[in-house]
Chain A
Amino acid sequence: DSGVTQTPKHLITATGQRVTLRCSPRSGDLSVYWYQQSLDQGLQFLIQYYNGEERAKGNILERFSAQQFPDLHSELNLSSLELGDSALYFCASSVETSGRNEQFFGPGTRLTVL
């Protein structure tokens, strides 16, 4: 158990819908990262927050947005869903923002868009 929790574990929805994925980082970790794992794209970085502020952005679509709240939990919002958005979405956390720090990964949310 990494200490990072993600809900829900599975999500099945239809094209055009909007969903929210939730992540609670390990106690004491200020940095939260979101990654997408799909068969064709592999594991890709989406976005990073540090202590409530956006720190880095990767290949995140404009239909996707995220935020980190004062209690440090984070939410990833996916809207106007398409079939290609079906993937495993991981949240990870680390103590700070340095690249030397280990990131602890949650179990992931599997999103299926029908």
Chain B
Amino acid sequence: GDSVTQMEGPVTLSEEAFLTINCTYTATGYPSLFWYVQYPGEGLQLLLKATKADDKGSNKGFEATYRKETTSFHLEKGSVQVSDSAVYFCALSDSSGNTGKLIFGQGTTLQVKP
């Protein structure tokens, strides 16, 4: 079945550092890809998405490109802030049928130090 693999955390960076969180997926069809962020004590919020190959999703300085050839959707940000500290989840929508269920990676904790 479909699956998502994320780089293990935690990732600790200094403010203004460059961020990359790797995400690769396995899918039989053509899923949409998402990055969700979870701040402490809160639910998940959509950060960005891409619905087809070569699409680039971007939001709040974060971006990720849907790469079908490498089955990847890596998250990047040029200059992180302390406020970006959170858990980041890569996810894909079920590619096997007409459902919207999401399959998540294990999550990557990001800690940004001033």
Contact = CB atoms under 8 A, between A and B. Distances in A.
B106 A102 contact: no
B78 interface: no
Interface of B: 31-32, 34, 36, 42-46, 49, 51, 89, 93-95, 97-107
Residue with the greatest number of chain A CB neighbours at <10 A, chosen from B36, B99, B101: B101
Nearest to B52: A100
Contact of B103 (A45, A94, A107, A108): A45
Interface residues of A, number: 29
B44 A33 contact: no
Interface of A: 2, 4, 31, 33, 35, 42-45, 48, 55-56, 58, 90, 92, 94, 96-108
Nearest to A102: B46
Nearest to B31: A99
Nearest to A96: B100
A58 B1 CA distance: 12
Given A42-B106, A43-B89, A100-B32, A56 B43 contact: no
Given A35-B102, A99-B95, 10 more contacts: A33-B102, A42-B106, A43-B104, A44-B104, A96-B100, A99-B32, A99-B94, A100-B32, A103-B102, A105-B45
28 contacts: A2-B43, A4-B43, A31-B100, A33-B102, A43-B89, A43-B104, A43-B107, A45-B101, A48-B100, A55-B99, A58-B101, A90-B43, A94-B100, A96-B100, A97-B98, A99-B32, A99-B93, A99-B94, A99-B100, A102-B34, A102-B49, A103-B100, A104-B46, A105-B43, A105-B44, A105-B45, A107-B42, A107-B43
